[in-house]
Structure 1
Amino acid sequence: MPYTNVTEFLLMGFPGLKPWYYGPVAALFFIVYLAIVSGNGFILVFVASERSLQKPTYLIFCNLALSDIVFATATLPKAIARYWAEDKIISFNACFLQMFMVHLLGSISSFLLMIMALDRYIAICSPLRYHTLIKNSSMLIMCGLSWLIPSTWMAVILIQAYSLSYCSSNKIFQCYCDHIGIVQLACENTRQIQIATFIIAMTVLLGPLTFVLFSYISIIIAVMKIANLEGRYKTFSTCSPQLFIICLYYFPRCFNYLASSFGFSLNADVRIVMILLYSLFPPLVNPLIYCFRTKEIKEMVSTRFKTLKNSNLN
């Protein structure tokens, strides 16, 4: 490894945040973390305990839930410590590990959203072929590839960033370690690395996004052909929240990478808020959108509560 005298990094968080807001920010992060872990954890436990839910669509939900839990656990505890205990320090290796996890899990979520769009596309546009094309075995393979393929790409990014020399500033103006924040601190020309990272990021984002847009446009066209107005409304009400989350996931990320690559600078606090919004809001609401709004889970939860209530009364 090239020479470096940096042994730790300082996570500065929001540069413009006054100290008297540290407590409320830490409390907010803590609440968000509990909500993400409990909501997505419920999905994993509930699907694992109900054999009737162990089918392709819910396997995607489980993979997305697992990805969201790991992402929150990799980022939020350190962000909470930053403002609760004013612990800014993260070790050199831990920072790179966190960077790897952040971008890996973001890429995994991108591929899982693409698989989810494929699942919905076949279910709505080719319903008679759905059970032939989409099986548990094929879904497990696709979900497995969505974890495996980004791992190799992110390993390349990690090795490139880790091999740079860091010999001056160690302050990262972010709530967690990310590639942009780390590479900016290098003491050498990082233009080639930034170009390579940009190409990988755009591939990870724009490839799945193109397929997602194609899928949902096809779904909308198919829905408009439904003569029954109630059927149209039901399908649109199912797809519209998913489209909102997909837009929130992809478009701000693309803007962030484009802005950093072409030298367009945002206010540091605005940039951090934007990153936290598109990183934490989807994991927070995914359980509500993808599971708790589905008829099967609502009926099963209602049945469980009624059974529990009756047993307590008896």
Structure 2
Amino acid sequence: MNERVILVQVIVLLFISINCLMMATFFMKDCFYSTMRYILFAITLLSDSLFLVITNILLNFTYFRLTMQIWLCVIVYIVLSIYTFVTPVTLTAMTLERYVAVCMPLRHGEICSTRNTINCILIIHALSSVPCVAVLSTFFTYASRSFFTQDRICSVEIFIFYTWQGHLRSTVSEFYFSIMCITIVVSYVKIMKVAKAASGEDKQSSRKGLRTVAVHGFQLLLCLIQLWCPFIEAAVLQINFLLFINVRYFNYITFTLAPRCLSPLIYGLRDEKFVHVLKYYALCGLYKKHNLF
């Protein structure tokens, strides 16, 4: 088990370092932090990094059976819950940006301006907060004051007193992911229609938009798998605590760590402009300068 713990720490540290390198690359070029899709990509990097750090800390707390007071766990849960949804909601926003770029090219500059990007980020965080509010509002209704000073292993299960609260949490999550999936599918179909009707450079741009939307759909699917982990873990917790620890580690590596690590690599390394700048700075200038400089 100790080898597993060390392995997870190495993997988390590796991919957080990669995310930090990508974030540094993002700030190296003006065209990155003034373009909507790159700004949203940076939001996913920050979200995934924060998510990996917090979940890794909670996982080690669970493994070593370290407890914390409920009020502190509530704060941790608020941050974790919000950033669980920030990445998939941002992916949906990036899909809509590609839809506007391909299907409404004349209005792309107006709709995807820097000012609208800031408003979009605020909307993303507001929408990501709704599931957290839904869970905690029911929790605060039934929790007594003395409950907040108790020491427990921090887990989402401690906020659920009744079965219907778990169903509510599941319903809200599934509703969100259904809306996001529908948005991506509709955008893909619309872009595909434009791609068939386009010609020359427009056709090439449309095909690139199709590939990007398909990538976002795959990233969203990876995030969707993670949705089922808490329900599996809650059932196992009722059977055996040691088994719960083993299952949580397996779920964390397979359905939480892997998707969050793959997500930035999938998008960042397929963007030609971004990957050229990334190679240049990662190799300390040894990589041949590209004409983008």
TM-score normalised to structure 2 length = 0.76
Decide which of 283, 288, 309 is 2:260's aligned counterpart. 283
Decide which of 94, 102, 123 is 1:116's aligned counterpart. 94
Q: Within 1, Cα distance between the matches of 2:283 and 2:78? A: 44
Match of 2:272 in 1: 295
- Aligned ranges for residues 172-191 of structure 1 at < 5 Å? 177-178=155-156, 181-183=157-159, 186=161, 190-191=162-163
Q: Secondary structure at the match of 2:53?
A: helix
Cα-to-partner distance string for 1:193-242 (whole Å, 9 max, x where unaligned): 334333432333222222122112323444455567x9487555544433
Counterpart code for 1:102: L
CA RMSD of aligned residues (A): 3.8
Q: Percent identity of the aligned residues? A: 16
* Count of equivalent residues: 274
Residues 1:136 and 2:114 are matched in the alignment? yes
Gaps in structure 1 of 5+ consecutive residues: 1-21
Q: Within 1, Cα distance between the matches of 2:173 and 2:282? A: 44
CA contact (8 A) 1:242 1:289 kept: no
Name which structure has the greater RCO, CA cutoff 8 Å, separation 6+.
1
Change (3 A) 1:149 1:304: closer
Match of 1:193 in 2: 165
Change (3 A) 1:233 1:147: closer
Q: Secondary structure at the match of 1:51?
A: coil
Residues 1:63 and 2:43 are matched in the alignment? yes
Q: Within 1, Cα distance between the matches of 2:36 and 2:45? A: 14
Gaps in structure 2 of 5+ consecutive residues: 288-293
CA contact (8 A) 1:110 1:204 kept: no
Q: Secondary structure at the match of 1:309?
A: coil
- Aligned ranges for residues 3-152 of structure 1 at < 5 Å? 22-54=1-33, 55-80=35-60, 82-83=62-63, 86-151=64-129
Q: Secondary structure at the match of 1:49?
A: coil
Q: Secondary structure at the match of 2:27?
A: helix
Select between 273-282 and 139-148 the one with higher mean Cα deviation.
273-282
Match of 1:3 in 2: none
Shift of 1:109: 1.9
Cα-to-partner distance string for 1:74-96 (whole Å, 9 max, x where unaligned): 1112324555xx35333323333
Change (3 A) 1:107 1:125: same
Match of 1:208 in 2: 180
TM-score normalised to structure 1 length = 0.71
Q: Within 1, Cα distance between the matches of 2:283 and 2:20? A: 22
